């Protein structure tokens, strides 16, 4: 048997946009079951730093990519390059590179959205799913149409992200401030109920940072769970990549819906992990419960007390225990 290893390497995939290079942490023993950890927004492979060694110790070969548009991975300047079928193809290319027929996929935030779609595009390549923060909730209609019906002329960040150049210009102007504001706004320490829609500021003339900064309060410093050196790693990665690629994932919401709306639900064994202070689910836990009906082989969920949106970073010990527990339920 080959020795256990951990290394950062670059994988090249074919693509309509000239080919994509992905930076990937590859850890564990060749031949062991493969698990792929898929980050969200605005994160990177570094957001899984607490999970790699425990998963290797549990007997997995662990692949952790900087996905398309993030870090030093390829970042095409075409919005259509970030459709979920193309992001899913990147993940399948990771399996092909290590000669794995199947893998368990774990997705957080936008990584969860991509993994939900991946499991519908390529069910034969997915042995199991553990998604984090974002439940399986198929859009009942075109997403941006639904958002406009819900929010009217009030500010909603996913609609703001549809506007050309505004969001990336705002966030690129001061990457450290942008990341610090977004991180605090989702952290369990500053979790607050969402305001009523009619109390949101108008879309016209409103930016993301003032809105989220006001909602979260943005304390001085960083959350206790995020050491300065880890925060600076994220800052350096986003200074390298910019925000165009990551925001372009949002700009494909309607295109992704059109591609997936007629596909069946993921058929493979599936579980979910969330935090009880996560802004995505804390005030709509019925979406978590609904997976017991919508997914044909749903095997339950773990909700971690005190964890906010950055679940695997905020409560790594509790998350890792839940992750290993959920992996055992998929067997």
- Nearest by Cα to 108 from 314, 325, 261, 328: 314
Distance CA 243, CA 175 (A): 9
7 forms beta bridges with: 26
CB count in 10 Å sphere of residue 27: 19
Is the separation of the CB atoms in 25 and 62 below 8 Å? yes
CA angle at residue 86 from 81 to 90, to 5 degrees? 115
Give the DSSP letter of residue 46.
G
Catalytic residues: 109, 309
Q: Torsion angle of alpha carbons 148, 149, 152, 155, nearest 10°?
A: -50
Per-residue CA distances from 208 to 77, 94, 109, 170, 184 (Å) = 22, 34, 18, 8, 13
Is the separation of the CB atoms in 104 and 34 below 8 Å? yes
3-state SS, residue 24: strand
Per-residue CA distances from 201 to 160, 177, 310 (Å) = 12, 21, 26
């Amino acid at each position: 048997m080959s020795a256990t290893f951990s290394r950062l390497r670059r994988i090249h995939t074919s693509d309509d946009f000239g080919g994509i290079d992905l930076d990937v942490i590859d850890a564990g023993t060749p031949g062991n079951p493969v698990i792929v950890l898929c980050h969200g927004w605005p994160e990177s492979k570094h957001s899984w730093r607490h999970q790699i060694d425990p998963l290797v110790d549990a007997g997995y070969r662990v692949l952790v990519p900087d996905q398309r548009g993030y870090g030093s991975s390829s970042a095409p300047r075409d919005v259509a390059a970030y459709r979920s079928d193309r992001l899913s193809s990147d993940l399948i290319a990771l399996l092909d590179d290590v000669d794995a027929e199947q893998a368990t996929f774990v997705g957080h935030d936008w990584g969860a959205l991509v993994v939900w779609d991946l499991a519908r595009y390529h069910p034969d390549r997915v042995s199991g799913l553990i998604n984090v923060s974002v439940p399986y909730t198929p859009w009942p209609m075109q997403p941006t149409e639904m958002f406009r019906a819900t929010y009217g002329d009030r500010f909603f960040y996913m609609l703001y992200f549809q506007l050309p150049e505004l969001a990336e210009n705002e966030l690129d102007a001061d990457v450290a401030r942008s990341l610090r504001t977004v991180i605090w706004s989702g952290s369990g320490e500053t979790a607050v109920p969402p305001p009523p829609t009619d109390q949101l500021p108008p879309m016209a003339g409103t930016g993301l940072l003032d809105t989220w900064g006001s909602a979260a309060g943005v304390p001085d410093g960083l959350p206790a769970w995020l050491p300065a050196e880890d925060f600076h790693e994220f800052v350096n990665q986003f200074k390298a990549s910019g925000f165009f690629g990551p925001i372009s994932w949002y700009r494909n919401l309607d295109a992704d819906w059109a591609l997936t709306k007629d596909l069946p639900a993921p058929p493979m064994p599936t579980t979910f992990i969330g935090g009880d202070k996560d802004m995505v689910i804390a005030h709509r836990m019925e979406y978590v419960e609904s997976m017991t009906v919508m997914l044909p082989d749903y095997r339950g969920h773990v909700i971690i007390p005190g964890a906010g949106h950055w679940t695997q970073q905020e409560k790594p010990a509790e998350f890792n225990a839940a992750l290993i527990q959920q992996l055992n339920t998929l067997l």
